[in-house]
Amino acid sequence: MIVMLNPRLGTLPDYPFRRLAALLEGIVPGQSPIDLSIGEPQHPTPPLVREVLACHADLWRAYPPAAGTPRWKAAVTDWLTRRYALPQGMIDPAAVIPASGTREALYMVGQLVIEDVPGPERPLVLMPDPSYLPYLGATLMNGAQPVAVPATEASGFLPDFTALPEATLARARLMFLCSPANPQGALVSLETWKQVITLARAHDIVLVADECYSEIYDAAPPTGVLEACRELGGSLANVLVLNSLSKRSNAAGLRSGFIAGDPTLVAAFLRLRAYGGAGLPLPVQEASAALWDDEAHVEANRALYRAKITLAAQHLADHPGFFRPAGGFFLWLDARPWGDTGEAAALRLWREVGLKTLPGATMSPDPGQKDTPGRHRLRVALVPETAVLAQALARLDTVRPG
């Protein structure tokens, strides 16, 4: 029996962690392993999560409303209004719906707006290179063509969508932009957000602002896309913003995020999720609302990451090209002191000192190109407990260039 699979599945490159596993397969780590490859929060989840889940345990029996409960919608709407100094009423609670983390929503948005037009005029989707690869999945699995826009040191580690040719913009349907950027930690300024929104509206492109690292920053809170919408008159047309509790509240296992923005787009998203989205369980919505209402645990979490970045800077200040990220919890290191490419460096660090890091090229949405922006880079996640991270950084010091 021959099983017929969707041929588009074969166009997806292996996911970064699968590629890393293949690279390191059969190699014995030189010391006890320390995983710096994945951005999985290791700080404690706030105790209130356990308390609220237990208090609402009787609600596990019920199907959750796809649109979110009034309590949950109010908590997210109020948080957005406070966080970005929005005028009351700019965010309608009806235009805020749950998502099972941001990955689900980032992937499903392709189904929402990409029209399947095969052939040379198929739709285009704009995204940074490197980037979070669900953007690519949303593109390829819906018959569109990715446009990987370099986000290099020369461009401030952000893509310049405004420099794209008019013909490219005319065919584009979606534009993904992450701030703070994953992996570089660069922040999109208010002026850049305004330029990108204006560009999207002029060409009828849906701008998806991925802001899941928005509450982890070094000095100043990142500007959000909604602030730019406010400055442009308050309209949310063509804009969707996604965020979650995974990084902000160390609650990745809750799979709790939201979609907000353009009311027409959010209503269409709700219609789509009624068929294929995983509803956010009622106890989880209650716990999520409590987390969005509380900032004390977020400030403590941010302080821990800030201290880790300082620790990394103390160890790596003399590393070629080292920079302190403005947001997020990743380092985007030049790999060449340890190998010609990110893959060679990752292999060497694993073999010699047991450190697992992610080669930058694995995050390219165009891995077939000869010289991806991340080819000579490593992404290092500063997530381990501080004492373990200090041990990992000390090991890096022992690996001599060569």
Residue pLDDT tens, the chain, 402 long: 567 899 999 999 999 999 999 999 999 999 999 999 999 999 999 999 999 999 999 999 999 999 999 999 999 999 999 999 999 999 999 999 999 999 999 999 999 999 987 777 899 999 999 999 999 999 999 999 999 999 999 999 999 999 999 999 999 999 999 999 999 999 999 999 999 999 999 999 999 999 999 999 999 999 999 999 999 999 999 999 999 999 999 999 999 999 999 999 999 999 999 998 889 999 999 999 999 999 999 999 999 999 999 999 999 999 998 999 999 999 999 999 999 999 999 999 999 999 999 999 999 999 888 889 999 999 999 999 999 999 999 999 899 776
* First vs last C-alpha separation in the chain: 52
Element (H, E) at 241: strand 239-244
Phi, psi of 35 (to 5 degrees): -95, 110
User: In 10 A of CB 348, how many CB atoms?
Assistant: 17
pLDDT value for 302: 98
pLDDT value for 15: 96
DSSP three-state, residue 208: strand
Quick check: 242 and 259 in contact, CB under 8 A? yes
pLDDT value for 119: 75
Quick check: 382 and 309 in contact, CB under 8 A? yes
Tell me if the pTM is above 0.85: yes
Alpha helices in 84-185 (DSSP H): 101-113, 134-140, 166-171
Q: Do the strands 355-356 and 257-261 form a parallel or antiparallel pair, or are they unpaired?
A: unpaired
- Residue 169 structure tokens: 């913009």
DSSP three-state, residue 195: helix
Quick check: 167 and 200 in contact, CB under 8 A? no
Element (H, E) at 300: helix 296-316
Cis ω on the peptide bond leading into residue 384 (within 30° of 0)? no
DSSP string over 376-398: TEEEEE--S-HHHHHHHHHHHHH
Q: How many CA atoms lie within 13 A of 278 on its CB side?
A: 13
pLDDT value for 50: 97
Domain with CATH 3.40.640.10 in the chain: 61-294
Domain with CATH 3.90.1150.10 in the chain: 7-44+297-398
Q: Show Cβ contacts of residue 276 under 8 Å, excluding neighbours closer than 6 positions.
A: 108, 111
pLDDT value for 402: 66
Instruction: Return d(Cα 375, Cα 353) in angstroms, integer.
Output: 22
Quick check: 363 and 21 in contact, CB under 8 A? no
Phi, psi of 167 (to 5 degrees): -65, -35
Q: Crossing angle of helices 282-293/47-55, nearest 10°?
A: 140
DSSP string over 24-47: HTTPPPSSS-EE-SS----SPPPH
Q: Hey, what CATH topology would domain 61-294 get?
A: Aspartate Aminotransferase; domain 2 (3.40.640)
Q: Hey, what CATH topology would domain 7-44+297-398 get?
A: Aspartate Aminotransferase, domain 1 (3.90.1150)
pLDDT value for 118: 76
Query: 363: burial class by Cβ within 10 Å (0-12, 13-18, 19+)?
Result: buried
